[in-house]
Structures are given as C-alpha cells and as structure tokens.
C-alpha cells in the first residue's frame, strides 16, 4: 500500500481529543517514523496521530503557519530541513545550538522550542549495543553533511580521543575541523583520497559512515573492504532492510558493525519524551519500527 503523505496546504482537520504530530521532509514517503511514534503514543495511552508531511526545500517558513493552524503540537524534521528549522525556532536547547540543527520541535503556547536528538540517539544506540567508552575512541567520520556535522559536534562535546573528518568536498571537512578542534578532542581533516583515508582508518578504532553511500543498489563501498582491520568498529548511519554493503563487509570479517536503524529508534524515543514529558516505551517502539523496517534492530 502506498504510504500516506500530506501537503501542508491540504491537511485534514485535526480530530477532537486526538493530538497531532508528524515528520516534515522531502522526500518523506519512505519514513518509518509514523509506525514507531504511533506505537509509542498508543503504549502511553495518548490518543495521537503522526503524519508524513512533504515540504519542498525552501518551503519551511511558508508551511509553518499551516502546520500550527492544522493543530500540530510538535514534529520531527529531516532532510533537507534541519538547518532551516533551527533558524525558525525562537527557543532552542543546547544540543540544537551546538550543531545549529533541529530535528524535534515542541509547540508551546509561547512559540516553538527546537531540539536535536540525533547525537544523543546515536550514543544511546552504541551504548546499548557496545557499552562503548567514547573517551577512548579514535574516530574516522566520513561525510560532513547534516548527520556527519551533528555527530562531529556530539563527539567533540562528549570528548572522544581523536576525531578525523573526511568529506567529498574537502573544504567542508577542513572548516568543520577548524571550528571543532580542542585540546580535549583534537579534530583534523583528511583529504577525500583513498590513500589518505586508508591511513586514517589504520589509526582509528571507530569508523562512522555518514554519506548516503550504500543507500542505492550498486553504490561503491566508502572504503575498501580489505582496509577493515581487526580492532575496528563500524557504524553506518545508512540503514535498509538488507544492510549496507559496508555492514555486510564488516560482518564478513567478524567485526562489530551497526547501522542507523538503532539511531532512528533512539532519536525518536527522545523526541517522544520531549513531547509527552514521559519515559518513552522503547520496547513497543522498537517492535513497531522493526516490523516497518522488515528486520530486527
């Protein structure tokens, strides 16, 4: 069945007694968040709906009054709106200000408050799966787009041992490294070149993949499989039903490897807590998300 997607100017009237939340993005039809969030609200006994809303790039400011008029009490936002949403929130918390991005909005009588739950959601996932101490990790992060930047800010805020950044457009990695580097967590840019990335990988304990590579069939591996050395952990922010080629290559070498479905779960659980001010029913959200994704988390 084709997923239901709404346009901001064609939203149905809110139902009396039912709270309204949603996810804004473009494209948005593929989003697994409605199944996960509606299961979360149901487990808390809160009548609520969670809609997919398609908003084209640049269309956020015009869409906001329509969302408010249609009774939304909060929303998530994803590609390509996280940075624009930051600029449209009169109030933001420290996590949003650190990366200048917002993925969760709480509508208040006084306005809107923006949060970023992606970094903490990612850390919840690795803590749950690996019990990893970030302070000991030398990290190589591939991709300095929205997710890569958020994770880079999170890693430096939480203090990993060393952070190397590589991005296809190398100037972005250089600028971000200059902005983030500190005595507590040295950050350096690595040129987007197979030899340089291979060297950086050999000096890393954790590889984080934050480009879209692996999403489309036939995408090349972001690093050669033979470079995945014993002692390396691999986190691929991209997820799909059959796992990405990077995750499959890592697991074939018996290396610990996780994909971003767990990050999606945990950032969503944190968003639900912000809206309801109650602990998120993680087990129910996990089951619903796994069912929607067609595999376990």
Which residues carry out catalysis?
A: 82
Nearer to ligand NAP, 18 or 179 (CB): 179
Nearer to ligand NAP, 22 or 143 (CB): 143
CB neighbours of residue 178 within 10 Å: 11
The footprint of ligand NAP on residues 109-148 (CB under 6 A) is: 143-148
Give all strands of the β-sheet with 19-25 in edge-to-edge order: 48-54, 19-25, 74-77, 104-108, 111-115, 91-92
Closest CA to 88 of 77, 79, 98, 36: 77
Hey, is 148 helix, strand or coil?
helix
Closest CA to 205 of 141, 138, 154, 126: 138
Show the tokens assigned to 57. Answer: 């790039």
| Interacting span for ligand NAP (CB under 6 A) from 15-23, 60-68, 195-203, 206-214 | 206-214
Nearer to ligand NAP, 147 or 280 (CB): 147
Q: What does the per-residue mask of binding to ligand NAP show for 63-82, with x meaning CB under 6 A?
A: ----------------x---
Q: What does the per-residue mask of binding to ligand NAP show for 161-180, with x meaning CB under 6 A?
A: ------xxx--x--------
User: Which residue has the closest beta carbon to ligand NAP?
Assistant: 145
CB 165 within 8 A of CB 176: yes
Distance, CA of 207 to CA of 137 (rounded, Å): 10
DSSP secondary-structure letter at 6?
Answer: B
CB 66 within 8 A of CB 75: no
Out of 260, 269, 271, 275, the only residue in the binding site for ligand NAP (CB under 6 A) is 260
Q: What does the per-residue mask of binding to ligand NAP show for 236-255, with x meaning CB under 6 A?
A: -xxx----------------
Q: How far is the CB of 265 from ligand NAP (least distance, A)?
A: 9
Q: Which residues bind ligand NAP (CB under 6 A)?
A: 79, 143-148, 167-169, 172, 210-213, 215, 237-239, 260, 263-264, 267
């Amino acid at each position: 069945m084709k997923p239901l997607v709404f346009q901001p100017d064609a939203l149905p009237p809110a139902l009396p007694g039912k709270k309204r939340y949603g996810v804004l993005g473009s494209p948005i039809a593929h989003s697994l968040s409605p199944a996960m969030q509606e299961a979360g609200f149901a487990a808390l006994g809160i009548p609520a709906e969670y809609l997919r809303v398609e908003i084209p790039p640049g269309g956020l400011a015009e869409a906001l009054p329509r969302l408010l008029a249609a009774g939304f009490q909060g929303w998530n936002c994803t590609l390509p709106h996280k940075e624009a949403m930051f600029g449209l929130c009169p109030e933001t918390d420290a996590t949003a200000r650190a990366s200048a991005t917002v993925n969760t909005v709480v509508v208040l009588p006084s306005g809107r408050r923006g949060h970023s739950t992606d970094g903490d959601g990612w850390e919840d996932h690795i803590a749950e799966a690996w019990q990893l101490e970030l302070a000991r990790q030398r990290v190589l992060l591939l991709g300095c787009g929205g997710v890569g930047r958020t994770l880079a800010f999170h890693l430096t805020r939480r203090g990993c041992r060393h952070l190397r950044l590589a991005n296809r457009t190398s100037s972005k990695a250089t600028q971000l490294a200059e902005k983030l580097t500190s005595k507590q967590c040295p950050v350096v840019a690595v040129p987007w070149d197979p030899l340089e990335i291979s060297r950086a990988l050999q000096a890393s304990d954790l590889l984080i993949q934050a480009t879209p590579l692996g999403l489309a069939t036939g995408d090349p591996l972001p690093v050669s499989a033979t470079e995945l050395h014993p002692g390396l952990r691999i986190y691929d922010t991209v997820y799909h039903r059959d796992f990405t080629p990077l995750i499959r290559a890592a697991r074939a070498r018996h290396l610990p490897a996780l994909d971003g479905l767990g990050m999606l779960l945990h950032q969503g659980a944190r968003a639900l807590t912000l809206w309801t001010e109650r602990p998120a029913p993680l087990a129910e959200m996990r089951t619903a998300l796994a069912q929607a994704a067609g595999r376990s988390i």
